[in-house]
Amino acid sequence: MAAERLVVIGGDAAGMSAASQARRRRDATDLEIVAFERGHFTSYAACGIPYWVGGLVEDEQQLVSRDPETFRNKFQVDVRLRHEVTGIDLDRREVVARDLENGGTEVREHFDQLVYAAGAVPITPDWARTDADGVFGVQTLDDGAALLAWLDSDPRPERAVVVGGGYIGVEMAEAMIQRGLSVSLVERSPEPMSTVDPDMGALVRKALCGLGLDVRSGVSVTGLETRDGRVSAVVTEDGTLPADVVVLGLGVRPNTALAAEAGLPIGPTGGIRVDLRMRVVDVPGVWAAGDCVESVHRVSGQPVYVPLGTHANKQGRVAGINIGGGYATFAGVVGTAVTRVCELEVGRTGLREAEATAAGFEFVSVTVESTNRAGYYPGARPMTVKLIAERRSGRLLGAQIVGWSEAAKRIDVLAVAIWNRMTVDEMSGLDLGYAPPYAPVWDPVLVAARKAVDAIR
């Protein structure tokens, strides 16, 4: 009896997690696995690219969790690098791909089971579509290598403009500072870090300016200027900024063009619709995971698109376990994320105020100023904690933290509280660790919870 065949589209976190989990449960005589990857790497940490560019990580191989040879030899997965999938035929149960290293030779592969893990594609407005050198995205290791080559080219760039003030934008701004460039950050929203509320974003902007960044928030980019085939400036509504290198950090959208063409269901967020086991809704034998799918928010109950490596790995694992004959589900997300630029730390989880309003909640918001350690202990630094709680029940709906040291990971306590539908009253009595080097006697999380209780009462 012929072995069943699993084809995986996408060789990064979600796709290769699915492949490895399926292999752990079914050997090669029972399940053949073929994985197509457009790039040169498998299972790499794209979130580490800013630290590689900034010099904190020496080599791109440090960002690779498992290389293709490991998958081929240890997991018996037929990894096809530099193969771009161009079509999916559900009726014939075939995937069509182009071999990018051999003149675009067409390859057709039959599948019994299919995992669509094509990830995300960067948002690129019309003004950013240029043939000029010096304009970069930072989504893949190949992107990072190209940017590093440009930064080391002659003449060396001295002025950088980063467009987009989200996670990637602020992290790339830090990388440019670490490489000694003069850096401007342009963000069209009123404040950078629009994943937090504007009042918390204002704290981020103030801190970034204090670090020497030229922050232009509430400003839209309208075009690029070039000279001799190279970028020379970024044109904004607030004037023209000279630039030897431009980094785009405008976010991503689900890479679902092929999925839509094949007839896979696309949800309101633009991601593929899947069930709890990561099966594509109403399409037997087809699974999807990672930055190309939409998830359910555990607080609002609504579909959301939250492209993070943490989710991609978990979703791929769930799909692989189920393909392998086990049983697993993906329980949803609460939108937890952290970042750092220089020493400034930002964390968020749950709903922002606008999201809570859109979901129909009535809520109170409280903000407290505290410190990461006992005030008398050396190294105590300020942090701001904001909580959003449902008005009647006191249930924690969202939380945000901006601070300087040991601030961001405190968001994990709040994420657990949201995950388990805790009220701020219940949180105010949590038995958290205390010692002067680590926290005040009243941890900032507890102080914020007490203030939220008072606001509700």
Burial of 316 (0-12, 13-18, 19+ CB in 10 A): buried
Could you report the per-residue pLDDT of 39-97, keeping only the tens digit for each? Answer: 999 999 999 999 999 999 998 999 999 999 999 999 999 999 999 999 999 999 999 99
Residue 235 pLDDT > 80: yes
pLDDT at 212: 87
Q: Please determine, for residue 338, whether its predicted confidence score (pLDDT) is greater than 80.
A: yes
- Alpha-helix runs per DSSP H in 26-100: 49-53, 68-73
Sorting pLDDT into bands at 50, 70 and 90, what band is 1?
Answer: low
User: How many residues are listed for the chain in this entry?
Assistant: 457
DSSP 47: G
Radius of gyration of the chain (CA): 23
- Count CB-CB contacts under 10 A for residue 445: 24
Q: CA torsion, points 118, 123, 128, 131, in degrees to nearest 10? A: 0
200 pLDDT more than 90: yes
* Residue 33 pLDDT grade (very low, low, confident, very high; cuts 50, 70, 90): very high
Active-site option among 47, 209, 292, 342: 47
pLDDT in tens, 435-451: 999 999 999 999 999 99
Q: Above 80 in pLDDT, residue 138?
A: yes
Specify whether domain 124-250 bears CATH 3.50.50.60: yes
Q: What is the pLDDT of residue 211?
A: 84
Residues 6+ apart with CB under 8 A from 54: 174, 175, 176, 178, 179
pTM metric for this prediction: 0.94
How much of the chain, in percent, has pLDDT values that exceed 70?
100
- For residue 230, the model assigns a pLDDT of 95
Q: What is the mean pLDDT of residues 407-423?
A: 97
Q: What is the per-residue pLDDT for 194?
A: 92
Per-residue pLDDT, averaged over 301-311, amounts to 96
* Percentage of the chain modeled with pLDDT above 90: 95
Q: How far apart are CA 229 and CA 147, in angstroms?
A: 16
CATH class, range 337-456:
alpha beta
Residue 411 has pLDDT above 80, yes or no: yes
∠ CA 208-125-334 to the nearest 5 degrees?
Answer: 60
Span 4-121+253-323: which CATH code? 3.50.50.60
Q: Where are the domains of the chain?
A: 4-121+253-323, 124-250, 337-456
Is the pLDDT confidence value at 109 over 70? yes
Determine the Cα angle at 309 with ends 306 and 310, to 5°: 85
* pLDDT band (50, 70, 90) for residue 274: very high
| 150/156 Cα distance (integer angstroms) | 8
**Given a cut of 70, is residue 5 above it in pLDDT?**
yes
Task: Give me the pLDDT at residue 9, please.
Answer: 98
Q: Is 47 a catalytic residue?
A: yes
Instruction: Answer whether 296's CB lies under 8 Å from 271's CB.
Output: no
Band (342; pLDDT cuts 50, 70, 90): confident
pLDDT of residue 334: 98
pLDDT-derived band at 214 (thresholds 50, 70, 90) equals: very high
* Domain 337-456 in the same topology as domain 124-250: yes
